[in-house]
Amino acid sequence: MQVAPAGVVIVGGGLAGPLLALEVRALGAAVTLIDGAPSDGSSSATAISYGVIPGWPLAPTPLARRSASASRHWRALEQRYGPLGWQRRGLLLHGPNRWLSLLGRLGLLPLAQVDTAVLAQRLPVALEQAGVERRSARVEALTPAAGGWTLQLSDGSTCSGDQVVLAAGAGCWQLWPGLPRILRRSWAAVLELSAFPTALGRPAAWLPQGFARLALERRAASLEQSDWLVDPGLVPWGRGALVGQHTWIAAQGAAAGPPVADRCEQQLREELAARAPWTLDEAIGSAVLRQAAVAFSCNGAPLVGPVQDAPGLWLFTGFSGAFAQVPVLAPLLAQRLAGPRQRGVHAQRELQQLGVWPQGADSGQ
């Protein structure tokens, strides 16, 4: 079955793909969003994400400063499309620095959270409302075609577009062999609680002062054996909570399938029992483990721009704080893809200044 060509085709329906699709549609261009669940039963990273958005820059970089304004973008999206799960959250920071914990308790570190249980229900409504065409299938192959690309889908159909954006998270690397080597994947696991623990009082985000996961990601390229760690955090999620986070990264060249679930769960539970500042004996007993593959970039900067030597193919992935970065970067990439020429040039310049335009990428697409 041949489907009529679409202007922009976006692969991936987690967070990056849908937010980019909304921005491209807002410019009036036709967009097709293709998403297919992994066959191994794992979730998208977005589905089990804490969705936390710090209201202050986490690093002294232009991107971190810009990302601190992400809540403004979420509120604008909600004004246009209705609730997406954004809300302010109380923050309880735990770790060695007492002053940092105190700042959190006093509300001097403004935190917001996109509740990903709500987002999962509301994003399809927003996409429908915006007129984004949605296809539920996995993309199995991408082929350059005259003036664009043809995508082979798992349901036997094809789809074509002038421009194709890979926003498939950890699935990107399977779609095109020539992606930058700094783009990698880890496996995350969290425990899902069906109710927010009453012992913790009002729903708030309980987070470690620093996430060890980020340092492990920086070392990923030189890992000689697979490594794992736990960052003890807990956030409200729908009526329940997500507790985690276990991170596993395969050694260089090792098979990148998920780590054994039972082993992850045991490691996660043991680390939480030893290090978490809360006790959830009963609630945690019945918690369910969920796993997801997560894309990251070894240098901490996402990849937002053209794929080298593949005219019309674009990347939008590798975020380190996606809920803060995606809403500020999606409008810029949308302008570059579908805006008037002059605005596209400005948008590209901004993406380069923010340090997210892939190095060595041909900018003249």
Site of interaction with ligand FAD (CB under 6 A):
11-17, 34-38, 44-46, 48-52, 138-139, 167-171, 175, 188, 190, 244-245, 292, 294-295, 317, 319, 321-324
Integer Cα distance of 55 and 15 in angstroms: 19
Bridge-partner residues for 133, per DSSP? Answer: 32
Integer Cα distance of 156 and 62 in angstroms: 44
| Least distance to ligand FAD, CB of residue 270, Å | 18
| Least distance to ligand FAD, CB of residue 242, Å | 7
| Least distance to ligand FAD, CB of residue 47, Å | 7
- Assign residue 195 a region (left: φ > 0; alpha: ψ between -120 and 50; beta: otherwise): beta
Residue closer to ligand FAD (CB basis): 55 or 349:
55
| Least distance to ligand FAD, CB of residue 340, Å | 27
Residue closer to ligand FAD (CB basis): 59 or 345:
59
From residue 65, how far is each of 57, 70, 261, 262, 320 by CA, in Å?
Answer: 5, 10, 37, 40, 14
| Least distance to ligand FAD, CB of residue 17, Å | 6
Residue type at 236? P
Q: How many Cβ atoms sit within 10 Å of the Cβ of residue 272?
A: 22
φ and ψ of 40, to 5 deg: -90, 5
Q: Which residue has the tokens 């308790």?
A: 105
| Least distance to ligand FAD, CB of residue 34, Å | 5
Residue closer to ligand FAD (CB basis): 296 or 357:
296
Residue closer to ligand FAD (CB basis): 50 or 248:
50
Residue closer to ligand FAD (CB basis): 232 or 321:
321
Cα-to-chain-centroid distance, residue 62? 20
Integer Cα distance of 355 and 150 in angstroms: 30
φ and ψ of 312, to 5 deg: 90, 0
| Least distance to ligand FAD, CB of residue 341, Å | 28
Kindly report each contact of residues 333-336 with a partner whose C-beta sits within 8 Å and lies 24 or more positions away, as own/partner. 333/20, 333/23, 333/165, 333/304, 333/305, 334/20, 334/23, 334/24, 334/26, 334/27, 335/27, 336/305
Residue 160's nearest CA partner among 365, 2, 316 is 2
Residue closer to ligand FAD (CB basis): 38 or 349:
38
| Least distance to ligand FAD, CB of residue 151, Å | 9
Residue closer to ligand FAD (CB basis): 295 or 349:
295
Residue closer to ligand FAD (CB basis): 169 or 339:
169
